[in-house]
Amino acid sequence: MSGRPAPDAVRTVACVGTGVIGGGWAAHFLGRGYNVVAWDPSEGAEDRLRHLVAQAWPALTELGLADGASQDRLRFEPDLAAAVDGVDVIQESAPETLELKRRLLADIDAVAAPDIVISSSTSGYLMSDMQVDCATPERTIVGHPFNPPYLIPLVEVVGGEKTTQEVVEWTSAFFTAAGKSVITMDREVPGFIANRLQEALWREALHMVAANEATVEQIDLSITDGPGLRWPIHGPCLTFHLAGGQGGMAHMLHHFGPALESPWTRLISPELTDDLRDAMIAGCEDEAAGRTIDELNRERDAGVIAILRALGRA
Amino acid sequence: MSGRPAPDAVRTVACVGTGVIGGGWAAHFLGRGYNVVAWDPSEGAEDRLRHLVAQAWPALTELGLADGASQDRLRFEPDLAAAVDGVDVIQESAPETLELKRRLLADIDAVAAPDIVISSSTSGYLMSDMQVDCATPERTIVGHPFNPPYLIPLVEVVGGEKTTQEVVEWTSAFFTAAGKSVITMDREVPGFIANRLQEALWREALHMVAANEATVEQIDLSITDGPGLRWPIHGPCLTFHLAGGQGGMAHMLHHFGPALESPWTRLISPELTDDLRDAMIAGCEDEAAGRTIDELNRERDAGVIAILRALGRA
């Protein structure tokens, strides 16, 4: 623990890999007032990074920059060891191939001070599979953001087999201090949570295009003008809680239970056991936290109207 | 054609079945200034319908009522034949079981004037399977809305084998005149488009809860604070177009192509053939309609900020 600062005392972040995601992370940390040291071995990476940060800056400014936040706090460093030297935390955002991630994490691990947390933006690999070549794997962890990281709040945090619980807690606390919305998972699942959901939708979309069942434009319109307007408000579970009328999720599962066996997607549904039914109902009740169906409906209505207006569509 | 008005001359709509969806349709049509005749055989249906309409009215008022719009234009009619007598179009929103829908559509068909369009809110059954017992199936069609129909713009319109092309066109024009955003499908697919996408996500969510991989609350948070903030703006395809950086969808498919074979959802992906790749790239380019990646990024950033603000989260 000697070298690791308190999560809210982090001042300097190394961004290793500065494509769309790594660059977005750099923009986020700069907007929050951190110093950022960036490293990326690809030709022209620094120019692309500075373009991305400059393009993100109006959005960051509109959301409110932290005191002292400045694009001048970005330093591009061509040497990896120099890039991670003296930083408080490292965010890796290299291309999404396992071999490359494995090697890069081992390279970072070899040159970074021993207690500094190395967080990976991987979209779905397990840290257990990525940390295998690290000498000190206990400080490696997944911190998975969403594009663009400077605007979408979510970060999924999950350790590998060799990651310590202390590092899991530190990383969640750091991202929270850095203004992110954190889901801390207590077990590894490929793709984590949001990407499994998003990917299921995306794969069905690809299947539909491949089978000439829908065009790209119809797919996008079906979401922007349909379910996509509800998901930012309540998420898929609480949204369906409201599809059940006053009976909530229990009635919804009763009403649409038979449809779960319909070929409404290429993904086969799980068996709707009593346990699963109970878990869905209890989960929605917990999440509703006392809000009645009428109250949730009003919240959804206000939210949809606000979104339509915000997007200039009402 | 004798009895069917022009799509924009419809004045009176029959809502057959007035649960969450049928009641939401009634609210929508009332807010748009139509007369609504409602029928539902279940105990207490009229009270529940009037409660639902009253609850929706503030939202409809905020969005802007049509001239003359009034809850007083709602008439509840206990007799089906009387309910559809003299109306200009019929929207069926009965419980989601095929046998019931088949019988009810035949019942409506038997008492409604011959040219009046009978549109079904079914969430996913094919009209070809539902219209089988109708004497005049050519005027039966799917007009699938999203909850709540008075706020979510999307309606998916698709005919069955026996539906005429004229009825498909009339129905799309009617819903457009009634203020909806219409996708007209030229072939039947179970679940249509949006529900296939939504259902793929939902089934993966159920699988994750069943396998203890995520809680209901984590699933909802992963969407409300993650991908759900992007989908109302550009939909899933154009959103991923931006995940590819300046290279757009082509680069995205190259970068994440390997991940399509990862177990990131229980749904197996289609083979990424050259044809599918070309269709995705061309579809995104068509939809972007000349907007550059930078312009789309700015649009997304402005949209996400607007949504976060609209929901009181920025």
Domains contained in chain B, CATH given: 7-184 (3.40.50.720), 226-310 (no CATH)
Please compute, for residue B72, the number of CA atoms within 13 A of its CA located in the half-sphere on the CB side.
2
Per-residue confidence in pLDDT tens, chain A, 314 aa: 457 999 999 999 999 999 999 999 999 999 999 999 999 999 999 999 999 999 999 999 999 999 999 999 999 999 999 999 999 999 999 998 999 999 999 999 999 999 999 999 999 999 999 999 999 999 999 999 999 999 999 999 999 999 999 999 999 999 999 999 999 999 999 999 999 999 999 999 999 999 999 999 999 999 999 999 999 999 999 999 998 888 999 999 988 887 888 889 999 889 999 999 999 999 999 999 999 999 999 999 999 999 999 999 88
Q: Are A57 and A27 in contact (CB under 8 A)?
A: yes
Q: Which amino acid belongs to residue B197?
A: L
Yes or no, beta carbons of A219 and B198 under 8 Å apart: no
Q: Which amino acid belongs to residue A119?
A: S
CA–CA separation, A258 and A6 (whole Å):
52
CA–CA separation, B119 and B115 (whole Å):
12
Yes or no, beta carbons of A305 and B62 under 8 Å apart: yes
Of A146, A201, A286, nearest to B226 by CB-CB distance is A146
CA–CA separation, B54 and A208 (whole Å):
39
Chain A residues in contact with B183 by the CB 8 A cut-off are 218, 221-222
CA–CA separation, A199 and A191 (whole Å):
8
Q: Please tell me if residue B292 touches chain A, with a CB cutoff of 8 Å.
A: no
Chain B residues in contact with A276 by the CB 8 A cut-off are 206, 209-210
CA–CA separation, A92 and A16 (whole Å):
5
CA–CA separation, A99 and A305 (whole Å):
47
CA–CA separation, B226 and A298 (whole Å):
23
Sign of CA dihedral B122, B127, B129, B130: positive
pLDDT tens, position by position, A72-131 = 999 999 999 999 999 999 999 999 899 999 999 999 999 999 999 999 999 999 999 999
List helix spans (H) across chain A: 20-31, 45-63, 80-84, 98-111, 127-130, 165-177, 194-210, 216-224, 231-243, 248-256, 274-288, 293-310
CA–CA separation, A106 and B106 (whole Å):
68
Q: Please tell me if residue A95 touches chain B, with a CB cutoff of 8 Å.
A: yes
Q: Are A13 and A36 in contact (CB under 8 A)?
A: yes
ipTM of the complex: 0.95
Of A125, A208, A243, nearest to B196 by CB-CB distance is A208
CA of B124: how far to CAs of A287, B18, B112, B138, B139, in Å?
A: 28, 18, 24, 19, 18
> How far is C-alpha B74 from the chain's CA centre?
23
Yes or no, beta carbons of B267 and A266 under 8 Å apart: yes
